[in-house]
Amino acid sequence: MKILVTGGAGFIGSNVVDLLLHHGHDVVIVDNLVTGRYSNLNPAATFYQLDIRSSNLSQIFEKERPEVVNHHAAQMDVRRSVADPLYDADVNVKGSLNVLECARKYEVRQFIYASSGGTVYGEPQYLPCDESHPIQPVCQYGGTKYMTELYLYMYRVMYGMDYVVFRYPNVYGPRQDPKGEAGVVAIFTGQMSRDETVTIHGDGLQERDFVYVDDVAEANRIALSLPSGGYVYNLGTGQPTNVVQIFDALKEITSYSKNALFSPARLGETRRIYLNSTKFQTETGWKPKTSLMEGLKKTVEFFRQTEIVN
Ligand code: NAD
């Protein structure tokens, strides 16, 4: 089937694109390359360099007529959402609404959306969080990511559009930006490979749920065969891992010799969050298959190889 992937030049989106193409789907990518890269683009996909906020987006829908939209384009940096909440809302709310309006006008059958389980629940009342946990984000990004979930619900009630919301945990793996502000695995791997001092914000005991990107891509593929409806699913291992544990594991894999530097915790960060994904697992048979150690090794190997290539 023809699937339009927004953010398909980014970290997660490009891994989703590769898997969809591998399974014989026809893929169209819309990405403005603000954080995405040409080198992530699969040449078998049709690529449009465009901002999701652009009024020209409808021309792409008119021409391509996708059956499914997989929406990954976003401002995805918590710190930037705190520093520049207007930009965050512009991309994540207005941009998403523009994509959704095009999907409605051009009768897209299903809308798959990458939301954020790490931020929409805020500081959890219980752990691991399931989908019924109250929504109480403590950063602007969590709020704007949730807003699109609300629009999807409205569009289902009003227009009958099928949708799948995935609330992602901390996704890591090949192509995550090692120079970015988000994604501790990629950042630490990059710093260790350049033998730079690694900085841990806060005491490093903040807990997260780390899922390897291939497992997330597989969930996006499985979503295509869900029966008509509106679904909200957490993805996650249900297991907490703290930042110091990630540092120690990467230190071992990369044979890094320095100690970490600790700096003050950053505004808008949740202390502990890990997700119960039993609902999606039970309904579809999906499982996060890649163990943390295996995923970290694959990630380090990817960065080693791309450093040689570049
Ligand atoms: P990323 O920055 O690598 O990917 C985002 C992509 O969207 C990039 O290719 C970027 O160029 C594109 N983009 C951004 N603004 C755009 C705009 N205005 N118009 C067109 N394209 C635009 O980030 P990622 O980690 O791959 O995140 C992908 C999605 O998953 C995002 O929606 C993010 O909120 C969500 N998510 C990610 C994580 C994670 O752990 N990485 C966790 C929860 C949710």
| pLDDT at residue number 122 | 96
Q: Are residues 204 and 217 in the same domain?
A: no
- Atom 29, ligand 1: residue with shortest CA distance: 72
Average pLDDT over residues 217-239: 98
Does residue 148's CB lie within 6 angstroms of at least one atom of ligand 1? Answer: no
Catalytic residue status for 141: yes
Number of domains in the chain: 2
Least confident of 107-111, 179-183, 202-206, 230-234: 179-183
Does the structure show a pLDDT above 60 at 239?
A: yes
pLDDT at 307 > cutoff 70: no
Interval between CA 30 and ligand 1 midpoint (Å): 12
pLDDT, residue 269, reads 80
Domain membership flag for residue 253: yes
Considering only CA atoms, which residue is closest to atom 18 of ligand 1? Answer: 51
Sheet holding 2-6, edge to edge: 46-49, 26-31, 2-6, 68-71, 110-116, 162-168, 230-234
158 and 28 fall within a common domain: yes
247 and 263 part of one domain: yes
CB of 141 within 8 A of CB of 85?
Answer: no
Residues 6+ apart with CB under 8 A from 184: 170, 172, 208, 243, 246
The verdict on 44 and 166 lying in the same domain is yes
Same domain, 60 and 194: no
Q: Are residues 177 and 165 in the same domain?
A: no
Q: How far, in Å, is the centroid of ligand 1 from the Cα of 144?
A: 13
Domain housing 34: 2-171+212-234
Residue 54, in any domain of the structure: yes
- What number is the average pLDDT over the span 140-147? 98
- Here the CATH number for the domain that contains residue 26 is 3.40.50.720
User: Is residue 74 classed as helix, strand or coil in its secondary structure?
Assistant: coil
Q: Is residue 62 part of a domain?
A: yes
Based on the fold, state whether residues 189 and 67 are members of the same structural domain.
no
The pLDDT of 272-280, averaged and rounded, is 97
Query: In the predicted model, is pLDDT for residue 85 greater than 90?
Result: yes
Distance CA 5, CA 16 (A): 8
51: alpha, beta or left? (left if phi > 0; alpha if psi -120 to 50): beta
Domain contains 280? no
For the CA of 10, the nearest atom of ligand 1: 9
* 267 in the same domain as 154: no
| 283: in domain | no
Q: What is the pLDDT of residue 270?
A: 86
Residue 197 CB-half CA count within 13 A: 8
**pLDDT score recorded for residue 48:** 99
Position 95 scores a pLDDT of: 98
Question: Looking at the structure, do residues 30 and 166 belong to the same domain, yes or no?
Answer: yes
Pairing state between β 261-263 and 241-242: unpaired
Cα(first)–Cα(last) distance of the chain, in Å? 34
Whether residue 310 lies inside any domain: the answer is no
Report the CATH number that the domain containing residue 200 is assigned in CATH. Answer: 3.90.25.10
Domain membership flag for residue 40 = yes
118 lies in the same domain as 192: no
pLDDT in tens, 17-61: 999 999 999 999 999 999 999 999 999 999 999 999 999 999 999
Whether 234 lines ligand 1, by a CB cut-off of 6 Å, is no
Burial of 240 (0-12, 13-18, 19+ CB in 10 A): middle
Q: Which of 48, 141, 151, 212 is catalytic?
A: 141
Is the pLDDT at 192 greater than 70, yes or no? yes
> What is d(CA 306, CA 160) in angstroms, rounded to the nearest whole number?
44
- Same domain? For 22 and 54 the reply is yes
pLDDT value at position 31?
99
Task: Let me know whether 92 and 216 are in one domain.
Answer: yes
Quote the longest CA-to-CA distance of the chain.
58
**Confidence label for 275 from pLDDT (cuts 50, 70 and 90):** very high
Q: Which of 34, 129, 166 to mutate to test the pocket of ligand 1 (most atoms within 8 A of CB)?
A: 34
- Pairing between β-strand 261-263 and β-strand 210-212 as defined by DSSP bridges: unpaired
- Residue 309 confidence (pLDDT) above 50: no
